[in-house]
């Protein structure tokens, strides 16, 4: 029995580098698969188990899932000048770079966040730079959970909160999202390896064997942020006719209109009605 992987609390996806299956096209490989399938008809499905389809998403396109930001709480923080500590949850920190360590924890590195001090945090019971994720031991415990989430997911959350279009995070500048509030909300929803919320469909699944990378659910490994070159790729697909509207017969109903009440309506009333529509020109 292994350790369960943890999930991004924002998207519910994996914070590990997921597996991608790319089928070689050589004749030798095809002959090998044919021989194996002759002995074991289920071999074709076994070798694709717990992997995403390389025809849909590439290994390079999923590397982003393994790097996370880490939201946590520094209970040993010594208040700096002009920093007022008013309650237990007002010294949350946001570390900008972290990696899942494979043991239900995350390894974090130093950050510009004034509430994050690697040396100070490393002096407690949870030594050095590795912190257990999600689990907490109750309100009276000195241990607070940490939450690892993808950087692009955090940008999407920022855009939803503050209405920014790009959602970029200038390094070294104050954060727009209130960390203490975000930490408090996530802490009330903490579960074993994700938040106790409905992430929709497909539903993220993992257990003691780790993350389940099911073919057809590549959306979990798709970067939700700004993808360089995506706009040009979509334009190329449009030029190639991939998004061409389906050809359906157009119906001319002008001869079927026997009575049009708008023709006898005063123009000012007609204009008031038109202004309530999305496009007043129609």
Per-residue pLDDT of the chain (282 residues; tens, 9 = 90+): 455 678 889 988 888 878 777 665 555 655 655 666 666 665 555 555 667 888 888 888 888 888 888 888 776 655 443 344 444 446 788 888 877 776 667 777 766 776 666 655 544 444 457 777 876 555 555 667 888 999 899 888 887 776 555 545 555 444 456 888 888 888 888 887 888 888 888 877 766 567 778 778 888 888 888 777 878 888 888 888 877 776 766 666 667 777 777 778 887 788 888 877 766 455
Question: Where is the domain boundary, 170, 194, 221?
Answer: 221
**pLDDT computed for residue 164 by the predictor:** 54
Asked if 269 and 261 count as a contact pair (C-beta separation under 8 A), the reply is no
**pLDDT computed for residue 211 by the predictor:** 78
Q: 128 and 28 share a domain?
A: no
**pLDDT computed for residue 80 by the predictor:** 43
Euclidean distance between CA atoms 220 and 12, whole angstroms: 8
- Tell me which residue range forms the domain holding 125: 61-221
Q: 39 and 117 share a domain?
A: no
Handedness of CA 8, 18, 53, 225 (dihedral sign): positive
Domain-embedded: residue 128: yes
Instruction: Look at the chain and report how many structural domains it folds into.
Output: 2
**pLDDT computed for residue 240 by the predictor:** 86
What is the chain's alpha carbon radius of gyration, rounded to the nearest angstrom?
A: 27
Euclidean distance between CA atoms 183 and 83, whole angstroms: 18
Rounded to two decimals, the pTM is: 0.63
Q: 133 and 86 share a domain?
A: yes
Q: 46 and 135 share a domain?
A: no
**pLDDT computed for residue 47 by the predictor:** 54
Q: 40 and 149 share a domain?
A: no
């Amino acid at each position: 029995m292994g350790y369960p992987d943890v999930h991004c609390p924002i998207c519910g996806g994996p914070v590990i580098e997921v597996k991608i299956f790319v089928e070689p096209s050589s004749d030798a490989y095809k002959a090998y698969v044919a021989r194996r399938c002759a002995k074991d008809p289920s071999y074709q499905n076994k070798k694709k188990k717990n992997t995403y389809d390389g025809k849909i998403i590439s290994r390079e396109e999923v590397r982003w899932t393994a790097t996370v930001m880490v939201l946590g709480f520094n209970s040993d923080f010594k208040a700096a000048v002009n920093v007022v500590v008013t309650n237990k949850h007002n010294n949350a920190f946001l570390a900008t770079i972290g990696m899942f360590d494979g043991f239900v924890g995350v390894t974090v590195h130093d950050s510009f966040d004034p509430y994050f001090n690697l040396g100070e945090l490393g002096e407690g019971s949870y030594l050095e730079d590795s912190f257990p994720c999600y689990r907490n031991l109750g309100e009276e415990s000195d241990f607070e959970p940490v939450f690892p989430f993808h950087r692009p997911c955090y940008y999407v959350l920022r855009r939803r909160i503050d209405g920014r279009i790009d959602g970029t995070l200038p390094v070294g500048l104050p954060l727009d999202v209130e960390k203490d509030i975000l930490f408090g909300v996530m802490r009330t929803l903490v579960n074993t390896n994700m938040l106790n919320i409905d992430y929709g469909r497909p539903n993220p699944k993992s257990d003691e064997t780790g993350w389940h990378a099911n073919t057809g659910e590549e959306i979990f490994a798709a970067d939700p942020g700004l993808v360089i070159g995506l706009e040009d790729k979509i334009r190329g697909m449009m030029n190639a006719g991939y998004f061409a509207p389906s050809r359906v017969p157009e119906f001319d109903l002008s001869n079927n209109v026997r009575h049009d009440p708008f023709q006898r309506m005063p123009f000012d009333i007609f204009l008031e009605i038109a202004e309530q529509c999305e496009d007043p020109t129609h």
